[in-house]
Structure 1
Amino acid sequence: MTFYDRSDELESLQTAFSAPGHAFYVVYGRRRVGKTALLKEFCVDRPHLYYLSAQEAEHRQREKFVEQVADSFDDRVPQIDGWDDAFDYLSDKLTVEDRIVVIDEFPYLIEENDSLPSYIQAFVDEQLRDTDSMLVLCGSSVSTMESEVLGHESPLYGRRTGQIDLQPFSFQEARAVISYDIADAIRSYSVTGGTPMYLTLFDYGQSLAKNIQTHVLSPTAILYNEPEFLLRTELRSPARYLSILEAVALGHTTPNEISGATGIDSGPLSKYLQTLRQLRLLDRSVPVTASGKKSKRSRYRVADEFLRFWFRYVEPNRSSIEEAPSVVFDGTIEPDLPMHVATTFEDICEEAVWELIRRGNLAPYSDVGRWWYGEEEIDIVGLAPTDDRILLAECKWTSDPIDHGLAADLRAKADSVRWGPNDRTEQFTLFSKSGFVDGLADDLDDNWSLFDLDDLNQII
């Protein structure tokens, strides 16, 4: 399989390994995000030892680890009684030859023995430090990695020399994979999101409709049951979490709305929402002008485009999909897809705003995000407090070009955004799937910027 991007992460790992002295890296992130692929790419043509942990008894985990060490150094497998002996054996070998030592799915080891971080602390402090080798702990359970490896209470706290919190691909990064034209690329990204495994499943020589029916709506396809699989690997009783994700995907975004849609009382609901956020399946947001921790105007959204698509279209229509998937696509998904894509388009336009800021094509803004108050909403608002400057932008995924009316509406809504002094500088931006009516650009002043899909393609 082709390895895409991750150049910054690879450079970080390569620099750490090449530098004098030992290195201890922590790599973590959601399942399917490409951690193992990154580490295997890093290890190519470098002396390494790669151990993939499994959910099995501790003694078997330890035996397999020692077998992997012995195999890496072409040695006879010794008799080992405990993890301290296992790391002593590894240390003896590293005195002879430096290695990259990768322990993948480290949380599986902690499940069987929560003292593992202490054993590794002793290994790092007393043995690894005297080598030029590199230890990498990798895991998909973000909460476990953050608490048991990176957290203040962990024996390993302060030992790491670097960490990588691996994120899904942005649209800009995913563009290297998605070979459709810009409009279909945006539609496709709204289905797969930036998870590398999902992106690379699609055959971009086929239509998006064909890919959805083949890889998502087919009961034999990997993605058909993927969200259930992800939740069952993280949670013992995923039913309520599934119902929350479905409610949010269908547009119930405030805690009160989610409670009403799921029947879960607000007390227990807050714990479920917190768990889903820890698993990076839900995002909580507040208006960009509000305080993140204190604001009561929070909204939730499914954190992954594919999961949002699945809970919006697949989960509610399981029975029909089992019988006639093409009918579900033609009658339910395709007519509604523009509404789904519109949210993705807003995120992509926000990416474009940051890129324009980096290039200097837009003035700098320190905070960029959504804004809402009551019934008023603005897709993108940027704040530059030191300059008393504000950016207000709308993103329209519609079949009609943007006209003077929408520009006037955005200018009027600016007065509702209570931020900065009365004489603040206001800049306006419009992103449009279908362009703009003739004469609009000429009728707007220099505080306005207009971008169609061709422009967006050049920016990304």
Structure 2
Amino acid sequence: MRKPEHVFDREREWASLVSFASDTGRQARLGVVSGRRRQGKSYLLQALASSMGGIYFPALEVTEAVALRLFTDELIRFTGAPVPAFRDWIDAIPYLFSVVQDRAVPVVLDEFPYLVKASPELPSIIQRELGPGGSGAASTARLLLCGSAMSVMGGLLSGTAPLRGRAGLEMIIRPFGYREAARFWGITDPRLAVQVHAVVGGTPAYRKEFVRGDAPAGPANFDDWVIRSVLNAEVPLFREARYLLAEETEIRDPSLYHSVLAAVADGNTSAGAIAGYVGRKSNEIAHPLHVLVDSHLLVKEHDLFRPNRSHYRVAEPLITFYHAIMAREWARLERGDAATVWRGSRARFLSQVVGPHVEMLCREYALHADPAAGEVGSGVVPDPANRTQIEIDVAVLAPVDHGRPRKVLSLGEVKWDRSMGLEQVTRLRRARDLLTAKGYDTGDTVLTCYSGAGFTPELAAAPGRDVRLITLNDLYT
């Protein structure tokens, strides 16, 4: 089944959903679709249900009785016949399975966490009806549970949860990649694309609804766009970063969680540094860190050369932008002084927001550019002789080959706003020698310079056989 023209990208997700929904087996199937709000889950599932003549039920945050009445109305629309009033979901789920028996169709229960909040027993009811002797045994329904509360959706299939082992599809709808996001925004200039992505990332909803369809007209228009659409208190995007935490039911102390995000956005990436920033003990922030990672608001990454050490980064660019630029000037922004705030924050935006963001984009580029890559990340190489450490922004390792030294495919350094020269290559070469001494296989290691500002004439003229130069144009090619 062809994807509707109005659905941008999502080719892989669409193919998986169609494959699941059109399964011809004579038994009900269960799928779980999750992802943070604004990623287009509902848009995609509505298109699926409409294309295949299925059921799409968007739950509301209401009582069980009201939810059941709304669900009854949806079943009436689907069957074109009267539907009995349901006392509870114990009545409703078997009836649903009984009316879907002639052909495989998707049945979408969107915002499923709202239903679970009002009826905690609902997952157990679904589990029973999908099990041996349940009403799902004779049904062709392809039941899709969808939601944005990642802690709730992630828990549906984990541990001892009733639905564990029942799902035939588990899909997470993620933001667009940086290249797809540039196409979605209609941006062809790589430098402008990087800056816009550093503010709004790849979240589809931020392109239209949240900025009233406003996009930068070109590189020279970026500053004006930030002032009129991001820092403008009358535009919905202005307060969005503050609301992202509200989706998660596991969060009991929003101020603590906002403080943890602020710590990471400010460059405190280890658990100890985060604890020191927020004024708590390390064990007191363990749970908030776990919840934020499960909610896809933080990402936990390991140092590739020191596996016992890990660090965190903010997964949502808008949160980083908010804490670096907006939070400290909130009162002035609410008064409408966005132009003055932006003039005073422009340098901080380039160093604290765009700089780290470009490093992340370069790692994403490296992962897809090298088919032999097994692991891509960052790391620190100790240099005891010089009493220092060499930070590797982009490290590419081959897959583990047991019994053989780990092969280092590439060591890279990233500079957003400064030209790169031979000194960067010298530092990377030193790191390669140190890794060789530690037992890594560096025979074919390429030293890669990623630059947003170009390269010195000396480096550009003679990069060397083992040196590769990557520009912003390369990232978007």
TM over 0.5: yes
- CA distance 1:43–1:428, shift in 2 (3 Å): same
Q: CA deviation at 1:392?
A: 0.3
Match of 1:396 in 2: 415
Q: Aligned partner of 1:72: which letter?
A: F
Percent of aligned positions that are identical: 29
Q: Do structure 1's residue 372 and structure 2's residue 372 form an aligned pair?
A: no
Per the TM alignment, residue 96 of structure 1 is displaced from its structure 2 partner at its CA by 5.1
Tell me what 1:130 maps to.
Answer: 138
TM-superposed deviation, 1:396: 1.2
Equivalent position amino acid for 2:247 in 1: T
Partner residue, 1:16: 20
Q: What's the counterpart of residue 273 of structure 1?
A: 289
Q: Are 1:114 and 2:120 counterparts?
A: yes
Alignment of 1:183-222 (within 5 A): 183-200=191-208, 201=211, 203-206=214-217, 207-222=221-236
446-455 vs 135-144, which deviates more?
446-455
Q: Is 2:32–2:146's contact at 8 Å kept on the other side of the alignment?
A: yes
For the 8 Å contact 1:4–1:176, the answer to whether it is kept is no
Contact 1:388 / 1:424 at 8 angstroms: preserved in 2? no
Per mean C-alpha deviation after superposition, the further-off stretch among 59-68 and 306-315 is 59-68
1:345-364 to 2 correspondences below 5 Å: 345-358=358-371, 364=372
Structure 2 unmatched runs, 5+: 383-388
Query: Could you tell me which residue of structure 2 aligns to residue 452 of structure 1?
Result: 471
Partners of 1:380 and 1:392 within 8 A in 2:
yes
Bigger shift: 90-99 or 119-128?
90-99
Q: Is the 8 A contact 1:431 1:450 kept in 2?
A: yes
Q: Shift of residue 287 of structure 1?
A: 0.6
Task: Provide the secondary structure at the position in 2 that maps to 1:203.
Answer: coil
1:67-106 deviations in whole A, cap 9, x for unaligned? 2112221222422212121122212321356532100111
Q: What whole-Å deviation, never above 9, does each CA across 1:207-252 have from its counterpart, x for those lacking one? A: 3223322332122221222122222332343111112211211122
Superposition map of 1:233-272 within 5 A: 233-234=247-248, 235-272=251-288
Asked if structure 1 preserves the Cα contact closer than 8 Å seen for 2:293 and 2:299, the reply is yes
Amino acid at match of 2:280: I
User: In structure 2, how many angstroms separate the alpha carbons of the residues matched to 1:314 and 1:275?
Assistant: 24
SS of the residue 1:425 aligns to:
coil
- After TM superposition, the score normalised by the length of structure 2 is 0.88
CA displacement at 1:131 relative to structure 2: 3.2
Of residues 193-202 and 78-87 in structure 1, the stretch that sits farther from structure 2 once superposed is 193-202
Residues 140-159 of structure 1: CA deviation (Å, up to 9, x unaligned): 12221222x21131222222
Which residues of structure 1 form unaligned runs of 5+? 359-363
Q: Whole-Å Cα distance in 2 between the matches of residues 150 and 343 of structure 1?
A: 34
The answer as to whether partners of 1:283 and 1:302 remain within 8 angstroms in 2 is yes
Moved more, 62-71 or 369-378: 369-378
Partner of 1:286: 302
Pairing partner for 2:39 from 12, 33, 36: 33
Contact 1:179-1:185 within 8 A present in 2 as well: no
- How far apart in 1 are the matches of 2:97 and 2:334? 54
**Cα contact 2:406–2:441 (8 A) shared by 1:** no
More moved, 219-228 vs 438-447: 438-447
Deviation per CA, 1:32-66: give whole Å up to 9, x if none: 22211121222232211111122221222222212
Q: Distance in 2 between matches of 1:256 and 1:29?
A: 29
What secondary structure is seen at the aligned counterpart in 1 of 2:457? coil
RMSD across aligned positions (CA): 2.2
In 1, Cα distance between equivalents of 2:58 and 2:432: 53
Q: Residues of 1 paired with 2:33 and 2:431: CA distance?
A: 43
- 1:361 equivalent in structure 2: none
Name the counterpart of 1:86. 92
Aligned positions, number: 446
Whether the 8 Å contact between 2:54 and 2:105 is mirrored in structure 1 is yes
Distance 1:383 1:228, change over 3 A: same
Among candidates 397, 410, 414, match of residue 428 of structure 2: 410
2:49–2:107 CA contact under 8 A, matched in 1: no
1:175 aligns with 2:182: yes
| 1:388 and 1:425 in contact (8 A); partners too | no
- Pick one of 323, 335, 344 that aligns with 2:347: 335
Q: Which amino acid aligns with 1:322?
A: E
Q: 1:156 aligns with which of 160, 163, 174?
A: 163
